[in-house]
Amino acid sequence: MIEIRNLRVNIEGKEILKGINLKINKGEVHAIMGPNGSGKSTLASVLAGRKEYEVTEGEVIFNGKNLLELSPEDRAREGVFLAFQYPVEIPGVSNTNLLKNALNEIKKYRGEVPLDAVEFLAHIKKKMALVELKQDLLSRSVNEGFSGGEKKRNEIFQMAVLEPKLGILDETDSGLDIDALRIVATGVNTLKSTENSFIVVTHYQRLLNYIVPDFVHVLYQGRIIKSGNKDLALELEDKGYDWVKDHINEFVMA
Amino acid sequence: MEKTDFKELLKTSFLTAEVGMNGERMSEFHQIRKAALEDFLSLRVPTVKDEEWKYTNITPITGKKFTTDLPAASAGIAELQKFFFNIDKYLNIVFVNGRLNHELSGDLASLEGVTISTIKEAFVAKNPAAERYYNKTAELKGNIFAALNTSFVAEGLFIHIGKNVAAEKPLRIIYVQKNAENLMVSPRNLIVAEKGATLDLIESYSGLDQTSSLTNAVTEIYASENAQVNHIIVQEENHNSYYINNIEITQEGNSNYKSLNIALGSAIGRTNMSTRFTGQNSEATLNGLFIAGGTQLIDNHTMIDHAVPHCQSHELYKGVLGGKSRGVFNGKVMVRQDAQKTNAIQENKTILLSEEALIDTKPQLEIFADDVKCTHGATVGQLSEESLFYLKARGIGDQLARSILINAFADDLVNRIKLEDMRNYLEAKISARLS
């Protein structure tokens, strides 16, 4: 699905990612964990194409294409979806309007026939049920006046509608209460198939109780210093990030 | 190069026209024209040295030799079709080159409790409301373009809504020019809503071709006690033409006036709009949207005069400027000493789409009362990069993403229009203007 090779990234001249290597196959869920400031969100944003980030080295191959050479919109059209850590409020643009345009642009890019109004409505209604969103959120402006939980659920809803090949969840769990967390996780689990993959970026282990990762990677100071299976997340939860910091040399040497 | 004297030229036109007037020359309506001509000639043509015209250089207008002979251009229904959607739902009032066209207009006598005629006819009929209110707004005095309008009004439009009458249909006034090279037209509206009357009024100003004309309009609106007037103005003159509009509203107690002033066209377009409260518990909403590109200049001056206590005003003007266009917003809210418990909100928001586009914005509050709630502000900016990235991250291309955001910004005011077909019509128009 995606292979990240020796990715180095600067923001305003400061190196944030210092050589990331990561390979994700179809059907896999990878969790990226790490303390604040370790570069987790930078990794998510760079994959989606945020332009403030400068890639100084490395490459990202996504289904055979050089992802870093694509515009953000083409990445999305190729099947990359970023669920934002801080979803943007867009006054005057309804959720429906956004999704209809997005879906049509993606289909056009892929040479597929756009959905007509009836098909589109049927499609989004089915997906709304998945994240238990209220109907009125469709006609309301994107994220405007949404609660924190509604915003995150809306991200997952959009992901469900656009059916990406790679879903990147950037701290989707932060600020969610347990009910919202469960709804978000159920949404993701329903979308999960042998054909798509997920990167779940999180600070805490608790989301991983619901979305069970195949692999867990610990990101610290711009490097993946340890990888393991879901037990690594539990170990981190148990021992805390200080454990990582204290044993960084052992991890890196190993 | 010989400098044309704007005033002298128009004086000559006036006197020449007067010769051919026969009996009308002695009419009361013409006496008002004559007095206005004297005012016009005595007033100084403003320049950018005048505070009120600081950002709007009108020498392209005053340097032109305008003709005031209104050519009787016939405009076919086909050319006007675009304005005529849902024709049965509205009462259309069509002016071609400054003259009321009865064939293109609906039946002006068809609405119960509503009197519609030219102002000239209303004077002949000695209509008391026409005589009482025509050209009486004090604020028009000393305004050279208002005086010019009054001097050259061909017929004018008089609308009277009787006491407690809710006009059954929205009135749609359509001013068009055709074959109007160097023509100056002087549209004039007098709208009187008596006690408890309700009216929806839509005005549009446009050219049916690309000839360069000057529209110099004046509208006086009187909203009596408890009257409600909803007013939409759509200025879509061609980009060779000039447009000046002075709109004066007087509001008695418990009245409600709402306007949406949309400016899309003209080379230079200037609107002065002012409302004053003469009775308590009144409310005014002055909203505006201006979209300009190329070398267009759109100037909006507004004034809300809180002369009495317990009134509310809301004002939001939004601009979208591209190319080398310029916008001006000068909004004054005056809260006089007696106007306690005033509630006034004023805002101007502008998006600049290019490096060379420019807005001069001046929201002003002048408060002489102490127990009031007033806010004002102005923002100028580009499209939000965060919003753009968000849309792109969903697969929407750069151009479409920009267009979605600009439309959303512009549609915000149009979305508040209650007439659904008018809302859709304007949304489509704005979307076309932005693409």
pLDDT tens digits, B250-287 = 999 999 999 999 999 999 999 999 999 999 999 999 99
Cβ of B392 within 8 Å of Cβ of A98? The answer is no
Instruction: Check residue A252 and give its pLDDT.
Output: 57
B279 is a domain residue: no
Total CB pairs under 8 A between chain A and B: 77
Instruction: Check residue B163 and give its pLDDT.
Output: 98
Q: Shortest Cα distance from A42 to chain B (angstroms)? A: 15
pLDDT in tens, B366-386: 999 999 999 999 999 999 999
pLDDT band at A253 (very low <50, low <70, confident <90, very high): low
B399 is a domain residue: no
Residue B416 forms contact with A (CB below 8 Å): no
B273 is a domain residue: no
Cα–Cα distance, B281 to B279 (Å, whole number): 7
- CB A191 within 8 Å of CB A161: no
What tokens does A33 get?
A: 């964990």
Cβ of A73 within 8 Å of Cβ of B404? The answer is no
SS3 B355: coil
Res. A250: pLDDT tops 70: no
Cβ of B412 within 8 Å of Cβ of A92? The answer is yes
B39 is a domain residue: yes
The mean pLDDT value of chain B amounts to: 94
Residue B393 is nearest to which of A48, A93, A109, comparing CB atoms? A48
B110 is a domain residue: yes
> Which residues of chain B lie closer than 8 angstroms to A141, CB-CB?
408
B205 is a domain residue: yes
Q: Rounded to an integer, what is the distance from CA A64 to the centroid of its chain?
A: 20
B277 is a domain residue: no
Cβ of B393 within 8 Å of Cβ of A97? The answer is no
Cβ of A90 within 8 Å of Cβ of B405? The answer is yes
Cβ of A98 within 8 Å of Cβ of B411? The answer is no
**Residue A145's closest CA among A160, A134, A156, A130?**
A134
The mean pLDDT value of chain A amounts to: 90
SS3 B385: helix
pLDDT in tens, B212-224: 999 999 999 999 9
Residue B394 is nearest to which of A51, A91, A162, comparing CB atoms? A162
pLDDT band at B76 (very low <50, low <70, confident <90, very high): confident
**Residue A4's closest CA among A55, A54, A74?**
A55
Res. A4: pLDDT tops 50: yes
Amino acid letter, residue A147: S
SS3 B357: coil
User: 3-class secondary structure for B136-159?
Assistant: CCHHHCCCHHHHHHHHHCCCCEEE
Mean pLDDT, rounded, for A87-104: 94
Res. A243: pLDDT tops 60: yes
Residue B387 forms contact with A (CB below 8 Å): yes
Residue A106 is nearest to which of B395, B400, B404, comparing CB atoms? B395
pLDDT in tens, A141-191: 999 988 888 899 999 999 999 999 999 999 988 888 888 888 889 989 999
Selected for mutation to probe chain B from A51, A84, A88 (highest B CB count within 10 Å) is A88
Q: End-to-end CA distance of chain B, in Å?
A: 40
Mean pLDDT, rounded, for B149-158: 96
- CB B115 within 8 Å of CB B174: no
Res. B1: pLDDT tops 50: no
B274 is a domain residue: no
The residue in chain A having the minimum alpha-carbon distance to the alpha carbon of residue B405 is A93
Residue B412 forms contact with A (CB below 8 Å): yes
pLDDT band at B4 (very low <50, low <70, confident <90, very high): low
Instruction: Check residue B310 and give its pLDDT.
Output: 97
DSSP string, B288-341: EEEEE-TT-EEEEEEEEEE-SSS-EEEEEEEEEE-TT-EEEEEEEEEE-TT-TT
Q: Is the ipTM of this complex over 0.90?
A: yes
> Which residues of chain B lie closer than 8 angstroms to A101, CB-CB?
391, 396, 400, 404
> Which residues of chain B lie closer than 8 angstroms to A96, CB-CB?
none
Selected for mutation to probe chain A from B379, B388, B396, B412 (highest A CB count within 10 Å) is B396
In this predicted structure, which of A210-214, B4-8, B116-120, B236-240 has the lowest mean pLDDT? B4-8
> Which residues of chain B lie closer than 8 angstroms to A103, CB-CB?
395
% residues pLDDT > 90 (chain B): 88
Instruction: Check residue A251 and give its pLDDT.
Output: 62
Cα–Cα distance, B163 to B227 (Å, whole number): 9
Instruction: Check residue B322 and give its pLDDT.
Output: 95
List residues in chain A touching B: CB distance below 8 A.
48-51, 71-73, 75-77, 81-82, 84, 87-88, 90-93, 97-99, 101-103, 105-106, 109, 141-142, 158, 162
The residue in chain B having the minimum alpha-carbon distance to the alpha carbon of residue A85 is B390
Instruction: Check residue B2 and give its pLDDT.
Output: 43
| H or E stretch at A58 | strand A53-62
Tell me the residue range of the domain where B53 lies. 1-253
Residue B393 is nearest to which of A72, A93, A101, comparing CB atoms? A72
Give me the number of domains chain B comprises: 1
